[in-house]
Amino acid sequence: MRSIYLALLSSVFAASAFILSWVAEFNCHFLKFTNAKPTIPPNVHFGIWAYQFWTTATNVDGTYIFETCHTYPDQTGSGAILHVDSKWKAAKAFSVLTLIIGGVVFFSNMIRGCRPKYAEMLFVSRGEAVLYVLTSFFSGMTLIVLDSDLCKHNILMEEVDAASPNTEFGDTCEMSRGAKCVIAATVFWFCAGLTSYQGWKAEKEEAVPDTTVSLTDPLIAEDLS
């Protein structure tokens, strides 16, 4: 039936959006600063919860540079290195809400669909569609970090420029793959809500009994006596 296909399509959109949101928000490649000079590093990346870090290791074969993601240093108190402004805090909150609300709705729907009682149909509801659209809004609002101090007044980047005279990074950041994943996730969350709503409407229509009279049946029964 049409409602089953729409429910499955909604789950595919939601699964894709959840994976993209998880990858985007918990790595250190959400935004970047590009080096205008042809020196190393060409780009420096920052995430909502972590930032890019390099570790050097030297042995008899030479020196190797390893890229890792580190959580930000102490951001509170008088010794704070980075100032977490209101927009950065909001982006953190929106990223958590995206994964919690979207994840709960998606996984509860999957668990419900795997139960023997619902083995032949994935039921959808209007509330599920509303929550998916709300999750899409939260996901999109995560991009507010691009207007925060992390992007426009990054003290760590000022220290990098001061310590490396051969580098020249811009004053503002650019979107990296994490932010682009968030844009894609926002679209997928919205599509999940749209198809979920369409599936709910189709399920209601299929539940209505067919009361039409067949044209091949006689209106008055024939007297066979």
CA distance 35 to 139: 29
Q: What is the pLDDT of residue 6?
A: 81
Which of 2-6, 19-23, 79-83, 197-201 bottoms out in mean pLDDT, i.e. has the lowest? 79-83
In SS3 terms, 86-98 reads as HHHHHHHHHHHHH
Q: What is the pLDDT of residues 41-58, one digit of tens each?
A: 667 888 898 887 766 667
Q: What is the pLDDT of residues 207-224, one digit of tens each?
A: 666 555 455 555 555 555
Higher pLDDT, 3 or 193: 193
